[in-house]
Structure 1
Amino acid sequence: MPPQDVSDAPTVTPRVLADRVARGDDVTVLDLRDRDEVEAWRIAGPNVAVEQVPYARFVQAQVTGDVADLVADVDEPVVVVCAVGEASAEVANALADAGVDATHLADGMEGWARLITAVEATTDAGTLVQYDRPSSGCLSYLLVAGDEAVVVDPLRAFTDRYARDASERGASIVYAIDTHVHADHVSGVRAVARGTDAQPVLPEGARERGLTYGARPLAAGETLQFGDAELRAVGLPGHTSEMTGVEFGDVVLVGDSVFVDGVARPDLEAQLAADTDAATEALAERLHRTVTDTLASLAPGTRLFPGHREPGVARADDGTFSTTVEGVHRLLDVLGRDRDAFVDAVTAGSPPPQNYERIIDVNLGREAVDDETAFELELGPNNCAVD
């Protein structure tokens, strides 16, 4: 059939859709991708319903004039989604012509993956900006104290955003820090450093894991001065052997140790060890000590800002994805404070992030990839939390 003009197809932007999902609006997503793609990675939220209907069925239905019949049992309004926003525009147009309340997601799942949002919060040491990537739940941070700033766990796909936001707040970035060697996304530490005067900083143990490029090592207990404040490194091993959080006034950025409603998985680094089971158990035991001895013993009311969030997790009163020491105790009540119970709970198997071995190599500097390849490597579910 001849190509259709879809330039005026009803459209919703990734940002508007993300706002709807965040508010808890009822959202029906009609996903045209193959079932395995949808099952692996989809738009998710507590009030998001996903219906998978292959694009080929719509092509056939347009010939027979039965397009609306394919969504007869689907709640409206409908957001049509595909990989890059081309097939979805065509289908949304056809559905709208048939009287269905339908829009399509601009630029598809690729556009969804290129969205990052920000929320600003105040600490007693300065300003904290939390960035959220809705497609994966990756969280990164800009900390501003006076005329200097630090970026923590930056994503390579958004390096320009951090520098721009720092500049808008009258600050320049002096350090770009990773809390650990990430397995789910390509780090932006080196890209931020190249675009600013920032010094790249990684935990001291990253060198033992094979880090090949020059970065300032950060050991637990060490401090970094910037602006009129300082950061203090907090050792939080478990998800990885070198996991290191940073304390900024009355908050701690905890990386992938605990999340708002869960804990990190301890097996991704272990998957690369000769004895995976033994390495996983050892890291799980270290995670247990991190949670029970380090995080649970922080001053009550200390706010904890994680490196990821799960779909549908509730925001704190200040609009951020964060928890408290009291929240850690609630997690322990669920998982078990006993070492064996905790280890059993966090070592249950779940699929790893896609391409995680190659992403680790990129983040260690053992493989170089261009920006587009880096973006494609990290598409998909996060899977860094215990399932």
Structure 2
Amino acid sequence: MDADAMDFPTPESDVDSIAPESLKAQIDGGESVTILDARMASDYEEWRVDGETVESINIPYFEFLDEEIDDDVLARIPDDEHVTVLCAKGGASEYVAGALADRGYDVDHLEDGMNGWASIYEAHEVTEYDGAGTLIQYQRPSSGCLGYLVYDDDEAAIIDPLRAFTDRYLDDAAELGVDLTYAFDTHIHADHISGLRELADEGVEGVIPEAAVDRGVTYGDEMTLTNDGDSFAVGEATVETVFTPGHTTGMTSYLVGDSLLATGDGLFIESVARPDLEEGDEGAPEAAAMLYESLQEKVLPLADETLIGGAHFSDAAEPAADGTYTAPIGDLVERMDALTMDEADFIETVLADMPPRPANYIDIIETNLGQQVADDEEAFTLELGPNNCAASQDALTSDD
């Protein structure tokens, strides 16, 4: 049952809501935050608001439906701290917060719940980028999705756009006084719905790897297909196609301004790609070998100062000084043993500790191929949760 669709009793107390951006600002600022997550335990275990200064308590909403709430339930909730209650969409948490306020607790509830949390989308300039123009990294904290906007003169291009934020890209381009000329996808994503087709509908030239079309893309005729070595001009900046299969057979990176390699899901600043989302466990060893070859022959030969910017970050990733999840190749080679292993050890490492596959990944892949239709609400719901596109749950980098 959808808790947020239920008719809850009306508590006597009115409680304030807190905007998702405000809650994140508290966490980013190092404030102590206590969260009561009123979702089901399975949803909580899969995906939740977390952080170094966050105390998170999971008590499902139904524990608060009786007029007399069990003392053991109330004992789990601190009565000497401010508590933020959240749920999936904001309805159940408003009721729970009101019930607690009736009993003297200092509470508010998260506006729009985890859906609101998933709507946060931040932009940070990549200050170490030294190519032509300016490079922005978009960050979606709820899922760790990353995108890149490069702009110069009166043109701009977006790499790995999310459908949920189509309007954001267009609005940002307009505010910057540039035309959004290109939208690039690195591959057929398994964790979020691509915004490529929606941007194409708005007049942006969509670009996908030609190798990705072989997976069954239904809209290839509507896009510009790209291959290794192709180059696209964005003002004086360039976006060069670098074919890097492994995570998928069509996985492609884009070298922006000869300064940052947008690696999609091939290489992250804390790990490397998982190789099992296209052909499953049976095809994973071959895909891992393909990934090894791509890293050794296409990525690592680039200059040490070339920045790596993946399509995702995890809780294990540490941002750079500018707040972006980017790092120089030379730094990653020093800190990530997997990049200096021989092929056999690399394959063994990549296959050893893969996390659960992304939620709804088959439906997401089929939607991104154009084989399945999802409206905006369905698309947003499909991609809620962690991305899990890396090969390991923990960082493969060391602090040395």
TM-score of the two chains, using structure 1 as the length reference: 0.91
1:336 Cα offset (Å):
5.6
1:312 Cα offset (Å):
5.5
Q: Does 1:265 align with 2:274?
A: yes
Q: Does 1:223 align with 2:258?
A: no
Partner of 2:286: 282
Matched AA of 2:263: V
Partner of 1:84: 89
* Residue number among 326, 351, 355 corresponding to 1:350 in the alignment: 355
* Residue number among 13, 25, 38 corresponding to 1:19 in the alignment: 25
CA distance in 2, matches of 1:112, 1:156: 16
Matched AA of 2:303: A
- Contact 1:258/1:328 (8 A) holds in 2: no
Q: 1:255-311: CA deviations, max 9, x gaps?
A: 11111211121110122xxxx42x211110121122333322221221111100102
Count of residue pairs brought into register by the alignment: 380
Q: 1:13-51: CA deviations, max 9, x gaps?
A: 111122233344433321111111111121233333321
Partner of 1:106: 111
Distance 1:187 1:226, change over 3 A: same
Q: Which runs of 4+ in 1 moved over 6 A?
A: none
1:152 Cα offset (Å):
0.8
TM-score of the two chains, using structure 2 as the length reference: 0.88
Partner of 2:52: 46
CA distance in 1, matches of 2:338, 2:378: 40
5 Å-filtered alignment, 1:274-313, equals: 276-277=281-282, 279-311=283-315, 313=317
1:241 Cα offset (Å):
1.3
**Identity over aligned pairs, percent:** 42
- Contact 1:335/1:341 (8 A) holds in 2: no
Q: Which moved more, 1:18-27 or 1:49-58?
A: 18-27
1:56 Cα offset (Å):
1.7
CA distance in 2, matches of 1:210, 1:94: 51
1:5 Cα offset (Å):
5.4
Partner of 2:123: 118
Distance 1:236 1:58, change over 3 A: same
1:175 Cα offset (Å):
0.9
Q: SS of 2:321's equivalent?
A: coil
Give the aligned CA root-mean-square deviation in angstroms. 2.3
Q: SS of 2:126's equivalent?
A: strand
Q: Which moved more, 1:293-302 or 1:373-382?
A: 293-302
- Contact 1:6/1:89 (8 A) holds in 2: no
Partner of 2:174: 167
- Contact 1:175/1:199 (8 A) holds in 2: yes
- Contact 2:166/2:198 (8 A) holds in 1: yes
Name structure 2 gaps, 5 residues minimum: 1-6, 394-400
Q: Does 1:321 align with 2:322?
A: no
Partner of 2:246: 238
- Contact 2:9/2:95 (8 A) holds in 1: no
* Residue number among 356, 359, 365 corresponding to 1:360 in the alignment: 365
Partner of 2:37: 31
CA distance in 2, matches of 1:108, 1:75: 23
Name structure 1 gaps, 5 residues minimum: none
CA distance in 1, matches of 2:118, 2:227: 33
Distance 1:285 1:12, change over 3 A: same
CA distance in 1, matches of 2:123, 2:14: 30
Q: SS of 1:347's equivalent?
A: helix
